[in-house]
Structure 1
Amino acid sequence: MTSHTDAARNEANPWRVFIAGGCYSGLSAAIHLLDRCDSVPEKPVHVAITIVDERDGFYHVIGSPLALADKKYAEKAWVEYKDVKILQRPDVQIVHGSVTKVDPTSKTATIRESSNNSERTESYDFFIGATGLRRVWPVVPQALSRKTYLTEVNRHIDAVTSSADPVLVVGGGAVGIEMAAELKTVQPNVKVTLAHSRAKLLSSEPLPDMVKDCALDLVRESGVDLLMEHRLVKSTPIKNAAGQDAYEVEFENGHKMLASVVVMAISKSVPSTDFLPKEALNEEGLVNILPSLQLSSKEIPNAERHFAVGDLINWSGIKRCGGAMHEGKYAGLNIHQMMMHEMEGKDIKFNEIDEIPPMIGLAVGKKAVSYGPEGMNSGKQVMHSFFEEDLGFRICWDHLRLGGNPA
């Protein structure tokens, strides 16, 4: 039934949409919702969107391996929100801060603002959780402002390029492979070693052996030295023969080596969902959802007005940027349908996500390997199709239209 309050939505009484997280899925949700709300110029749907993010800008997370190897690229990979053209409109508010609590009963979110560390509460009609996974250094930079981020990555790049000793990357998952290969490709004079505790790379991913074997071949082609079945026991800070800071590294099999820097790429990422009620989460902290991306728990009041998208959802498939943007799009479109139903009584036919089979696109130096339902491909053309020359920055930027007209 259409309520008087909802029917009277106008510029002075807009629909309030709160989005926690301003990366791929959160921005996709906002942009697709705005598109629909603007689609009939003579009869726009009035919204007020608040996007809260811990960072002060859009950071291209999947470009981290390159950002941590190339200072010029690092400048490009983080764009302050004030410079994201499509968001510069009066019905979009961007808050640099964190969401500390969401109360579905009252439909309010508590924000801690970074500028003064103060807290305030904001009401909403619809909520979208898009805060993703909390990844540790050096998987992603930990800085929350572009200025401190550049200091952080430049210091790291200086460290990995200033010594004759090898850089040791520990962990042969997707992150470790890309970090090792990008560093070797961008800094060919640096000796790079990748150590993995298992007999196959990508050992924790539900992928066929042919993909794992191809990844290993591409890593070797990139010039990275591989230590398979090498489990790290300890790394001890020392001075090398030149008096530089270094690490004496020991593995479980007794092998020892000297490394200039030890890059740990094996830590488990944790869902950033502490602000949500426990009833919304599974045992790992991921958000349980319906195929419509609404919260699935019947214990949560107003669950149908709360959505979750991106890496924090409990859903099948390997976490991917493309999937996150697709989920954000569907959440935005579904919220628009709910608005139209409550204002005009229009029928709702939700966009629903399907089960996602194992898929991956892995950049390994100048080549890439891809795998999905259509099979496996690898080579330079795969690298260009999936990542181009900037680990997918241009592809994602243009797909989200972040540099486009805000109206």
Structure 2
Amino acid sequence: MGGQASAVEGVHVVVVGGGFGGIAAAQQLKSQGLSFTLIDMRDAFHHNVAALRASVQPGFARRTFIPYADTFGDSFVQGRVEQVDTNRQTVILEGGREILYSHLILCTGTDGAFPGKYNTVASYQTAIQAYDDFATQVQTADSVLVVGGGSTGVEMAAEIKTEYPEKKVVLIHSRIGLADPALLPSVRQEAKQVLLEKGVELLLGQKVPNLSELQLNVTRKNTVVTTDKGTTLTTDLIICCIGLKVNSAAYASSFSGCLADDGALKVNAHLQVEGFSNVFAVGDCANVNEPKMAYHAGLHAAVAVTNITNSLNDKELTSYRTGNITMLLAMGHNDGVGQFNGWKLPRCLVTFGKSRDLLLWKSWREMEQKQP
């Protein structure tokens, strides 16, 4: 089955998805001596909080991938989960391999367009090359169009304009307000202010209706783009920062009765999937009313693992409670906006706390490895 000998006979926890929630759960299981298997499509953890900087700084990407096996050894298995057989308590991988579980933690996260996401079966060397190749496309372009003004789009535009202030960068967004709607209005306004200060041009309240017909992530000089409002612009490179969706492929067929409209799993206060006392959902794939963030995934993982150990020891289960929103946006390496526990933070504090290093140190420390 993989994993180490369990301190509790018959217990084997399978963690599906090695994102922020997955590695947090795996580390806690490891520290408690519980047998577990962590499964992910890649062979390295992707610190995708730094994916956008890896898109503009050649060579940066190698710092954003941390090999699983160096941390978890034989408790890590690379593969794509195709199905969960809840009757046999078995996870079935592409190719037919089966892994039995006594408890299951689903941490499949969200999927979206590259470069914000890199969800594919691949080696981390392949992934690093993909980011370095993308950075070359950004270097080659004289003008860039970023489609989508949520948090990812805002950070993407800021990263490009910070690294290449001479490039023309246009951000188009279907709404008037930028960044995550869960943020304080004053923080969202400050994000807009930072972009304008950096020289990013904003086209708000407009869409690119034929986005699917346009070539993305490849420099094509003087590509003409027309918005739904008739605005025409010429650009060399188009980057899509919209379309984020819950990555439900691994579990949708097995838990069809427990799915929310967006594909997330309905959970109770203990983060147990509805109808299953031994199955937990963590992070973006849990139907919890809060922004999809790495920070929250770590909190979910702690609750899930605690409840597994509590259930084994006949103790009362702990509950997860949402709190005031904490969210930091890196606006390039030299600026940032955000809020902590519902309070707006000074830009210099966000810059110092997140923007300079994008919290890479934290993931390398959690994975017990040394950053290159």
TM-score by length of 2: 0.88
Equivalent residue for 2:279, pick from 302, 306, 310: 306
The CA deviation at 1:12 is 10
The CA deviation at 1:135 is 1.7
The CA deviation at 1:139 is 2.6
Deviations 1:195-250 (A, max 9, x none): 12222213x62334222211100112233222223322447879xxxx96441111
Deviates more, 1:57-66 or 1:263-272: 263-272
Aligned equivalent of 2:26: 30
Aligned equivalent of 1:55: 42
Over 3 Å counting, the alpha-carbon distance change for 1:12 and 1:291 in structure 2 is closer
Tell whether 2:188 aligns with 1:188. no
Tell whether the 8 Å contact from 1:273 to 1:285 is kept in structure 2 after alignment.
Answer: no
Equivalent residue for 1:402, pick from 359, 362, 368: 368
Aligned equivalent of 1:278: 256
Aligned equivalent of 1:159: 137
Tell whether the 8 Å contact from 1:67 to 1:153 is kept in structure 2 after alignment.
Answer: yes
Looking at secondary structure, tell me which structure has more strand per residue.
1
Tell whether 2:337 aligns with 1:369. yes
Over 3 Å counting, the alpha-carbon distance change for 1:309 and 1:205 in structure 2 is same
Tell whether the 8 Å contact from 2:115 to 2:131 is kept in structure 1 after alignment.
Answer: no
Report matched runs for 1:242-281 at 5 Å: 245-275=221-251, 276-281=254-259
Tell whether the 8 Å contact from 2:41 to 2:119 is kept in structure 1 after alignment.
Answer: no
The CA deviation at 1:313 is 0.4
Over 3 Å counting, the alpha-carbon distance change for 1:208 and 1:186 in structure 2 is same
**CA–CA separation in structure 2 for the residues paired with 1:378 and 1:218:** 13
Aligned equivalent of 2:201: 225
The CA deviation at 1:110 is 0.5
Paired amino acid for 1:72? G
Tell whether 2:104 aligns with 1:137. no
Report matched runs for 1:36-75 at 5 Å: 36-37=32-33, 47-75=34-62
| RMSD across aligned positions (CA) | 2.4
* Unpaired runs of at least 5, structure 1: 1-8, 38-46, 113-117, 298-302, 342-346
**CA–CA separation in structure 2 for the residues paired with 1:272 and 1:174:** 22
Aligned equivalent of 2:63: 76
Tell whether the 8 Å contact from 1:29 to 1:330 is kept in structure 2 after alignment.
Answer: no
Paired amino acid for 1:293? L
Paired amino acid for 2:206? H
Tell whether the 8 Å contact from 1:316 to 1:357 is kept in structure 2 after alignment.
Answer: no
The CA deviation at 1:155 is 2.0
**CA–CA separation in structure 2 for the residues paired with 1:271 and 1:237:** 24
Over 3 Å counting, the alpha-carbon distance change for 1:396 and 1:79 in structure 2 is closer
The CA deviation at 1:142 is 4.5
Deviating runs (4+, > 3 A) in structure 1?
Answer: 9-14, 233-238, 243-246, 356-359
Aligned equivalent of 1:320: 293
What secondary structure does 1:15 align onto? Answer: coil
The CA deviation at 1:401 is 4.5
Aligned equivalent of 1:355: 322
Aligned equivalent of 2:126: 148
Deviations 1:310-349 (A, max 9, x none): 110000111111110111122112212222x2xxxxx412
**CA–CA separation in structure 2 for the residues paired with 1:172 and 1:12:** 48
Number of residues paired by the alignment? 358
**CA–CA separation in structure 2 for the residues paired with 1:110 and 1:209:** 45
**CA–CA separation in structure 2 for the residues paired with 1:374 and 1:185:** 27
The CA deviation at 1:378 is 3.2
Q: Percent identity?
A: 26
Tell whether the 8 Å contact from 1:367 to 1:378 is kept in structure 2 after alignment.
Answer: no
**CA–CA separation in structure 2 for the residues paired with 1:127 and 1:244:** 46
Tell whether 2:326 aligns with 1:389. no
**CA–CA separation in structure 1 for the residues paired with 2:29 and 2:243:** 35
Tell whether the 8 Å contact from 1:128 to 1:309 is kept in structure 2 after alignment.
Answer: yes
Aligned equivalent of 2:17: 21
**CA–CA separation in structure 2 for the residues paired with 1:367 and 1:50:** 39
Tell whether the 8 Å contact from 2:282 to 2:304 is kept in structure 1 after alignment.
Answer: yes
The CA deviation at 1:176 is 0.2
TM-score by length of 1: 0.81
Deviations 1:85-139 (A, max 9, x none): 3x23xxx521111111112222111112xxxxx2121211111101111222233
**CA–CA separation in structure 2 for the residues paired with 1:378 and 1:280:** 41
Q: Whose radius of gyration is greater, 1 or 2?
A: 1
Equivalent residue for 2:185, pick from 199, 202, 209: 209
Tell whether the 8 Å contact from 1:183 to 1:192 is kept in structure 2 after alignment.
Answer: yes
- Bigger relative contact order (CA 8 A; separation at least 6): 1
* Unpaired runs of at least 5, structure 2: none
**CA–CA separation in structure 1 for the residues paired with 2:250 and 2:79:** 15
Over 3 Å counting, the alpha-carbon distance change for 1:159 and 1:292 in structure 2 is same
